[in-house]
Amino acid sequence: MNKETLIQKIKEKKELSGLDDSVILEVLEKAVSQSKVNLQTAKKAEIKDLIKKSRAELRKFSGRFTSSFEERLSLLKENKIQELIKTHSSTRERLDFYPTLNNLIKNLRIKSILDLGCGLNPIAIAFENPRIEYYPCDINNNDLKIVKEFFKKENISGKVFFYDLRKKDQKLPKVDLCLIMKVFDVVEQQGHKLAERIINSVNAKYFLISFSTKTLSGKPMNHPQRGWIERLLSRLGYNFQIINHKNEIFYLASKTKESVSL
């Protein structure tokens, strides 16, 4: 079986269907080299195992959501924005935090946002702040397509683009605020070198970095604060404020000294 056919097979799962082929190929090649299988002569069971292993690895990157791409597109067309943003677990879980976030954006006089690993978050924010120049990126092409359609419909300026945070390929736009929400736990598999490189590669006045504070089984974490990000931000010369919200902890970081009222 060739790699292209395998990629399409892996993508048959709804939650993986939006992932970019380049991301799937990388994971698949790793699984092939680890299992030492020859794709040309592989038996059915070996192919099945490769697909299973690749999917398990890819699920770590993909968000959890309940609707297909087509269902989401219909919600957008019918202007059911609240329902649309509820189809992604991260935006759904912070629905009642958005008013605080929107206040923050207003108080800080934010004019431009870079949203790394954006999911559907740009829709929730740009809906209330349509004049902001917005740069959302992700490796999930389905999420990016929905965000792009929404931006077109609402005339939001900026650019929706594919960007793999593990690579150093593109220059990122300079912005007032960079959002990295519930992303570091997903992209960082070992240590925190990548988080440091990402923060250093962004030219933003403010960062808003968040983490889930529940375990995979849904229970509250015993130690929800991330000591490592606090130490990292301090070492890089950032001041930060912590904002706790139900199942999520936010770090608002900046090199300026001013403290922000929420």
Ligand X SMILES: C[S@@+](CC[C@H](N)C(=O)[O-])C[C@H]1O[C@@H](n2cnc3c(N)ncnc32)[C@H](O)[C@@H]1O
- What pairs with residue 137 in β-bridges? 116, 161
- Smallest distance, ligand X to C-beta of residue 95, A: 11
Interaction of residue 211 with ligand X, rule CB under 6 A:
no
Q: Identify which range of 65-73, 95-103, 169-177, 179-187 contacts ligand X by CB under 6 A.
A: 179-187
Closer Cβ to ligand X, 113 or 143, answer by number: 143
Closer Cβ to ligand X, 46 or 145, answer by number: 145
The count of chain residues that interact with ligand X, using the rule CB under 6 A, is 22
Q: How many CA atoms lie within 13 A of 185 on its CB side?
A: 17
Interaction of residue 142 with ligand X, rule CB under 6 A:
no
Closer Cβ to ligand X, 39 or 186, answer by number: 186
Among 87, 140, 142, 254, binds ligand X (CB under 6 A): 140
Q: Identify which range of 30-38, 44-52, 176-184, 215-223 contacts ligand X by CB under 6 A.
A: 176-184
Among 165, 199, 232, 249, binds ligand X (CB under 6 A): 165
Interaction of residue 93 with ligand X, rule CB under 6 A:
no
Among 118, 123, 177, 233, binds ligand X (CB under 6 A): 118
HEC string of 121-165 equals: HHHHHHHHCCCCEEEEEECEHHHHHHHHHHHHHHCCCECCEECCC
Closer Cβ to ligand X, 62 or 87, answer by number: 62
Interaction of residue 143 with ligand X, rule CB under 6 A:
yes
Interaction of residue 14 with ligand X, rule CB under 6 A:
no
- Smallest distance, ligand X to C-beta of residue 11, A: 14
HEC string of the chain equals: CCHHHHHHHHCCCHHHCCECHHHHHHHHHHHHHHHCCCCCCCCHHHHHHHHHHHHHHHHCCCCCECCCHHHHHHHHHCCCHHHHHCCEHHHHHCHHHHHHHHHHHHHCCCCEEEEECCCCHHHHHHHHCCCCEEEEEECEHHHHHHHHHHHHHHCCCECCEECCCCCCCCCCCCEEEEEEECCHHHHCCCCCHHHHHHHHHCCEEEEEEEEECECCCCCECCCCCCHHHHHHHHHCCCEEEEEEECCEEEEEEECCCCCCCC
Q: Identify which range of 100-108, 133-141, 148-156, 201-209 contacts ligand X by CB under 6 A.
A: 133-141
Interaction of residue 61 with ligand X, rule CB under 6 A:
yes
Interaction of residue 186 with ligand X, rule CB under 6 A:
yes
| Positions in the binding site for ligand X (CB under 6 A) | 61-63, 90-91, 117-119, 121, 138-140, 143, 163-166, 181-183, 186-187
